[in-house]
Amino acid sequence: MDRTDFIDRLRQIVGERGLLEGDEVSSRYPGYFMEKVESRLMVRPASTDEVSEVLRLCNEQDQSVVTQGGMSGWVRATQTEADDLILSMERMNGIEELDTVNRTVVVQAGVVLQSLQESLEEQGLIFPLDLGGRGSCQVGGNAATNAGGIRVIRYGMMRSLVLGLEAVMADGTVISSMNKMLKNNSGYDIKQLFLGSEGTLGVITRLVLRLFEQPSSENAAMVALRDFDSVARFLRFMDSRLGGKLSAFEVLDASFYGINTGPGRERPPIEGDYPFYVITEALGFDSTIDDPQFERVLMAALEEGIIADAVVPKSQTERHAIWQLRENLEHVVSDLQPFQAFDVSMPVGDMESYMQAVTARFKASWPDGKLCFLGHVGDGNLHIAVGCGSNAAGARREVEHCVYEPLASIGGSISAEHGIGLEKKDFLSLSRTREELELMQLLKRCMDPRGILNPGKVFDLTR
Amino acid sequence: MDRTDFIDRLRQIVGERGLLEGDEVSSRYPGYFMEKVESRLMVRPASTDEVSEVLRLCNEQDQSVVTQGGMSGWVRATQTEADDLILSMERMNGIEELDTVNRTVVVQAGVVLQSLQESLEEQGLIFPLDLGGRGSCQVGGNAATNAGGIRVIRYGMMRSLVLGLEAVMADGTVISSMNKMLKNNSGYDIKQLFLGSEGTLGVITRLVLRLFEQPSSENAAMVALRDFDSVARFLRFMDSRLGGKLSAFEVLDASFYGINTGPGRERPPIEGDYPFYVITEALGFDSTIDDPQFERVLMAALEEGIIADAVVPKSQTERHAIWQLRENLEHVVSDLQPFQAFDVSMPVGDMESYMQAVTARFKASWPDGKLCFLGHVGDGNLHIAVGCGSNAAGARREVEHCVYEPLASIGGSISAEHGIGLEKKDFLSLSRTREELELMQLLKRCMDPRGILNPGKVFDLTR
């Protein structure tokens, strides 16, 4: 089949509205996307059947397919080459069925996370996944990348929130595994294959998501700590007193805190210099109980000397200001320009020595370079912002070695939540054994024998 | 290699203590095991290396291998034929590393669940999986069957509690995926393949398990309700007031309640006849707050007319007595003799019509037969006890049709937590699509090409 026939056939499947070519494709992408968009051919299917027909055709024609959701990942997992076909999920954005008794919602993969969140507000229910890209990311992409975010400590990652899904395999076979129950042990849990595999094993088209009751009380605090041991102690202290209510436990090191509270920036909520700050949050269902309990627990932590200082915001505005200290990345990006960001994880007990090892190694090469750490300590997840002063490929690569290599000996992960994509695949063997990588390759070959789905992402096929 | 050489080779691998033959094997199994034990050859490896060598040899020799843990499953997933080799995990029962900072424990697969639970008591930590078989089941078996139990509503099933694992594939390859972090998106999450696949894709040898803070407050109540709608409303009512603290929500129908509170049995804690009873439990960290809150919430449910009556036990003895009404299965087994037990799940909103459909169909065939329902409503999980009056194979099979067939149209599962084994495989297609079953077969062929691991369990290979 020549290219014209192929495109005609695609048009027959997805209709005139469903096919974009040439500049229509490239003009859709604003410049700030990390991903290169070389492809000049996009299909926008409106149904699972259309996805299935598109894939069957592509598989016959050995046509590579890159599925795109909100394009807000950070690892170039949706980057395209000139000869790739883009499969955009944007038209499959329906919320199909909300079941308030079973507390599940059936959605198409292209639903934007924030739209879903907002659609639930009146029901007293929440879909608890939340992350910075909420306004653009799609739930299908959240599933394909096993997204995390700030409330994993309480609600788990996307993998725990997806009860069922429908996916289309490379040959067009539709796998409908739309389970709605928390408990279902009827054979292999095959949805797990598609979760977190970054579009390399199938295209997720629909999902059953687990919903939770909307909490009605919210408490937060910013806390200063004298050392990292205290951070780890404070985590267990909070969790052993607030239990199921603890929903966030975010650490900021002095460097990050200093950047965001610098002259003309946010007002520092805590005076004095400390090596670590923590923003912690609890969500509950009765503020008459939860508010005084939260303050009492913080007071006890102060009295026991676990924390050095604490500030509890008294209004939504004050609470927002404290979260801004964590979520505003604008100053760190500008101060550390050219900027590199990392997302790694490790056992909590290894975090301090890891931060020291990375800092020492980095400073040995770039004495004037800057780096800072922040992260979801409760999940073992550190984000690292680095500015070595150079944007040269060699320097950037050397920084990557600085950050990733110390992970190997402590069983850490080169990607806590962002995935591998193209960005990290050269380092994957630091976090995974040869046998694991071979098993991944075996799965890929068995589920996508012609290798049409997102080729070259996560790992390269050997042989 | 003839049989004698094969056994000699096994003995070289696992040592004299590690090999049992003939009556040594069969004498180890008390009569009450559901499983037939026809095999007369068992290896008891003491290390992952030994498991690996055993499997490599068996794979070369096309020798089928059935891995056995505590043998306390309910679906004959560890049953053996005369020519199977039993691989017992009982000697791999070490707790290797407890990390109280990261709140993880590394264990060998043969550790008995209750031993693990008890070993954590002094640390203020819990491993929250709990089920009736705790005294005999092994954590490796819990993982291989994705065990559930009574606290899934709060802590999730085994799949959510396993952070990492090591497994040996059919050809002896050791897959070490001993992740210790809540967040790790570095490539495919291959541990998911081994969780819940009932020993058909690999032998789990070691695990990293997630631990939680030990709650210090415990509240429970037995509640009577006027209809099933109220049960569903009461679940949301409790969850929206106790949020992260709700840990159990167990329903008993009038029939089950009646059997356990019959003459000479437990004292009925609630007088009067109701169609449903619920035992609910909340675990928290401050009884000065939690106890009055729990009572206040129950009082509100009474005042709003959601529940008809409630009893709150005032002592550990009273609490135990209430749980006995749910956990004591002795009377139901004797009253319904010959007894059949089922474990199914479905969306909560479909439970009532499902119970009605099963009852109507059952009573049409056996007007004098007895059946009763109990279950973990919060998880969509119903257990059904049936006594049709006959133990004939045909009658038993007809009861199975009664229970399983109404699941197909509501997207229910023939196995909520027990798995498939041999017991349910004839019905698997009621809960899974043809495409799902074909994908399971594809995985099995790709990971165990000679089909030596627990052959014939979960499904039969076609062609």
pLDDT tens for A394-431 read 999 999 999 999 999 999 999 999 999 999 999 999 99
Confidence band of A132 (pLDDT split at 50, 70, 90): confident
Chain B interface disruption, residue of A182, A249, A410, A417, most B CBs within 10 A: A182
Query: What is the structure's pLDDT at B303?
Result: 98
Mean pLDDT of B266-292: 95
**Do A438 and A460 touch, CB atoms closer than 8 A?**
no
**Beta B65-68 vs B85-88: how paired, if at all?**
parallel
DSSP state for residue A32 in the 8-state scheme = T
Q: Is the pLDDT of residue B23 over 70?
A: yes
pLDDT tens for A9-20 read 999 999 999 999
| Cα–Cα distance measured from residue B247 to residue B250, given in angstroms and rounded to the nearest whole number | 10
Backbone angles phi, psi at A198, to 5 degrees: 55, 40
pLDDT tens for B70-94 read 998 989 999 999 999 999 999 999 9
Q: Is the pLDDT of residue B64 over 60?
A: yes
| Cα–Cα distance measured from residue A23 to residue B252, given in angstroms and rounded to the nearest whole number | 64
Mean pLDDT of B435-459: 98
| Cα–Cα distance measured from residue A453 to residue A144, given in angstroms and rounded to the nearest whole number | 13
Query: What is the structure's pLDDT at A31?
Result: 57
Q: Helix crossing, A287-303 with B287-303: angle to 10°?
A: 180
**Beta B125-126 vs B104-108: how paired, if at all?**
unpaired
Query: What is the structure's pLDDT at B450?
Result: 98
Poorest-pLDDT segment among A233-237, A243-247, B57-61, B420-424 = A243-247
Query: What is the structure's pLDDT at B31?
Result: 57
Quick check: B176 and A435 CB within 8 A? yes
Query: What is the structure's pLDDT at A28?
Result: 79
Q: Which residues of A touch B381 (CB under 8 A)?
A: 181-183
Query: What is the structure's pLDDT at A136?
Result: 94
What is the residue type of B134? R
**Do A304 and A251 touch, CB atoms closer than 8 A?**
no
DSSP state for residue B420 in the 8-state scheme = -
Option in A99, A184, A284 nearest B413 (CB)? A184
Quick check: B177 and A436 CB within 8 A? yes
Three-state secondary structure call for residue A460: coil
Quick check: A243 and B213 CB within 8 A? yes
Query: What is the structure's pLDDT at A150?
Result: 81
| Cα–Cα distance measured from residue B311 to residue A389, given in angstroms and rounded to the nearest whole number | 68
Confidence band of A243 (pLDDT split at 50, 70, 90): confident
DSSP H helices, B15-77, are 23-26, 48-60
Confidence band of B419 (pLDDT split at 50, 70, 90): very high
Write down all domains in chain A, each with its CATH number in brackets: 3-88 (3.30.43.10), 95-213 (3.30.465.10), 217-327 (3.30.70.2190), 331-431 (3.30.70.2740)
Option in A102, A286, A289 nearest B347 (CB)? A102
* Alpha-carbon distances, residue A327 vs A133, A256, A375, B138, B228 (angstroms): 12, 11, 11, 44, 45
Confidence band of B34 (pLDDT split at 50, 70, 90): low
Confidence band of A30 (pLDDT split at 50, 70, 90): low
Query: What is the structure's pLDDT at B33?
Result: 57
pLDDT tens for B344-396 read 999 999 999 999 999 999 999 999 999 999 989 989 999 999 999 999 999 99
* B403 to chain A, closest Cα gap in Å: 15
* Alpha-carbon distances, residue A255 vs A384, A386, A391, B236, B243 (angstroms): 11, 11, 21, 44, 36
Chain B interface disruption, residue of A145, A180, A183, A423, most B CBs within 10 A: A183
Mean pLDDT of A327-356: 94
* B128 to chain A, closest Cα gap in Å: 13
Quick check: A433 and B285 CB within 8 A? no
ipTM of model: 0.96
Mean pLDDT of chain A, nearest integer:
95
Q: Is the pLDDT of residue A49 over 90?
A: yes
**Do A166 and A205 touch, CB atoms closer than 8 A?**
yes
Q: Which residues of A touch B283 (CB under 8 A)?
A: 243-244
Q: Which residues of A touch B419 (CB under 8 A)?
A: 185
Quick check: A345 and B184 CB within 8 A? yes
Q: How many CB pairs under 8 A join A and B?
A: 294
Closest CA to B41 of B87, B76, B75: B87
Query: What is the structure's pLDDT at B32?
Result: 54
Confidence band of A281 (pLDDT split at 50, 70, 90): very high
Mean pLDDT of B185-214: 98
Beta bridge partners of A130: A149
Query: What is the structure's pLDDT at A98?
Result: 98
Q: Is the pLDDT of residue A346 over 60?
A: yes
* Percent of residues, chain B, with pLDDT higher than 70: 98
Confidence band of B243 (pLDDT split at 50, 70, 90): confident
Backbone angles phi, psi at B325, to 5 degrees: -60, -30
HSE-up of residue A257 (Cα within 13 Å, Cβ side): 23
Option in B102, B232, B435 nearest A348 (CB)? B102
Q: Which two tokens stand for residue A321?
A: 């200001």
Mean pLDDT of A321-329: 91
* B260 to chain A, closest Cα gap in Å: 26
Q: Which residues of B touch A378 (CB under 8 A)?
A: 182
Q: Which residues of A touch B187 (CB under 8 A)?
A: 420, 428, 431-432, 436-437, 440, 458-459
Mean pLDDT of chain B, nearest integer:
95
Confidence band of B228 (pLDDT split at 50, 70, 90): very high
Query: What is the structure's pLDDT at A37?
Result: 80
pLDDT tens for A201-221 read 999 999 999 999 999 999 999
